[in-house]
Amino acid sequence: MMNPEVHMNLKTAVELGRWPDGRKLSPEQLEYCLQAIIAYEQEFLPEQQRVGYIDRTGLKKTECDDADSNSGSNPDPNKVMPLNVTKH
């Protein structure tokens, strides 16, 4: 069972790449810590407070946005959309 203090300690360890005693996190430890942080936040924190949250209010809508976020319409799931390829 994780509590808020453990959650914050894990987040700090991931941010710094080190445990509080100075030892470096192994790649496996980093992966497990990230999984634990994400699971805890999914269960106990609102979306706006989770790691990786992007506030999209006021942002210009693009073709990459979710179809269901476009002005409340229900798009046809069988509609074929063109694919645009951009070369740099």
- State the amino acid at position 31 in one-letter form: E
CA dist list (Å): 8 to 4, 24, 63? 6, 17, 36
- Give the pLDDT mean for 3-25: 96
- pTM across the whole model: 0.63
Other C-beta atoms lying within 10 Å of the C-beta of residue 53: 12
pLDDT value at 34 more than 70: yes
Structure tokens at 36: 């634990």
Compute the average pLDDT of residues 30-57: 91
Q: Tell me which of 84 and 73 has the higher pLDDT.
A: 84
Give the pLDDT confidence score for residue 74 in this predicted structure: 59
CA dihedral 41, 44, 49, 50 (to 10 degrees): 20
